[in-house]
Structure 1
Amino acid sequence: MSRSSTVAVAHLRMAETATPPEVFQISFVFPNGDKYEGECIRTASRVLERNGVGTHKTPNGIIYKENWMNDKMNGIGRLEHPSGAVYEGEFSDNMFHGTGACTFPNAVKYTGNFFENKLEGEGEFVDTQGLEWKGKFHFTAAPGLQLKHRM
């Protein structure tokens, strides 16, 4: 057996015997007044880290619900702003990233792809008049955007 395959087998055996970290249910208030209720794990350095499902609320009314990984919003979640704006969809490292929908208090809505908090790729947009648009979005530009006709 070659050295690389011996190392690979050793890593595989370690992974098979490694126990998953214990999950804790906590309610925690941060020094700035933020509150977190949900699941966490203790890292190798003995620090509690948000991992799993939980809700984070800020004193000014921002609420994030659902999935956490590595102490960040990761996976599917919902972010509510006190203005009434809501984002529901995929998060990666605290950013809108993947597929999601952003709805604003004035009924404007974007549904589609996000890349690091920016509109990016195929999506649909409903404007303040209720008109529906479809096309490719690139941050604040939407070249070739087309109005969806209702017949």
Structure 2
Amino acid sequence: MPEKKGKKGEDAGPVIMNGMFVFPNGDKYEGEYMQQDGSIIRTGQGRHVTTDGSVYEGEWSEDKMSGQGMLTHHSGAKYTGEFVNNQFQGRGVYTWPNGSSYEGDFVENKLEGTGNFTDTDQQIWTGQFRYKAAPGLHFQLRLE
């Protein structure tokens, strides 16, 4: 049963409720939402699980992944960081299923800006990333 948040009698905009829904395609959502024109609009904190096993946990705005969150793909790849309108946007960490990862800036789902790439041998490469290119990367030498 959905629960409403807010003070009784308040007219300060839409009422944020909390509940669980199964969409017609089989996806499941549990978290905060509001109702608008008979539709469920995910907003606030929530967890969405797709039928293929991908999971997003984090902030929603206007029914889109926006704010801080974590998206885990069914392949094992994972992104943790900032989202804007369902895209990786801002600072984040993307980890591939083989264990390599990129930590840095993202623009519209692309590695774009300053960041660190950690390869499968845990060696770190730092520099500027431009989608699939990374000219002039510097290797971080670790002396142990």
Q: Same fold, TM exceeding 0.5?
A: yes
Task: Find the counterpart in structure 2 of residue 111 from structure 1.
Answer: 103
Counterpart of 1:65, as a letter, is E
Equivalent of 1:42 in 27, 31, 35? 35
Q: Deviations over 1:71-115 (max 9, x none)?
A: 000000000012211100000000000000011221101000000
Structure 2 residues not aligned, in runs of 5+: 1-9
Look at both structures and tell me which one has the larger radius of gyration over its CA atoms.
Answer: 1
Counterpart of 1:25, as a letter, is N
Q: Deviations over 1:33-86 (max 9, x none)?
A: 10101100123x353200000000011100000100000000000000122111
Count of aligned pairs: 134
| Equivalent residues in 2 for 1:26-105, closer than 5 Å | 26-43=19-36, 45-105=37-97
Equivalent of 1:128 in 85, 96, 120? 120
Structure 1 residues not aligned, in runs of 5+: 1-16
Distance in 2, Cα, partners of 1:144 & 1:70: 40
- Where has structure 1 moved over 6 Å in runs of 4 or more? none
Counterpart of 1:68, as a letter, is W
Distance in 1, Cα, partners of 2:72 & 2:38: 31
Which shifted more, 123-132 or 92-101?
123-132
After TM superposition, the score normalised by the length of structure 2 is 0.88
After TM superposition, the score normalised by the length of structure 1 is 0.84
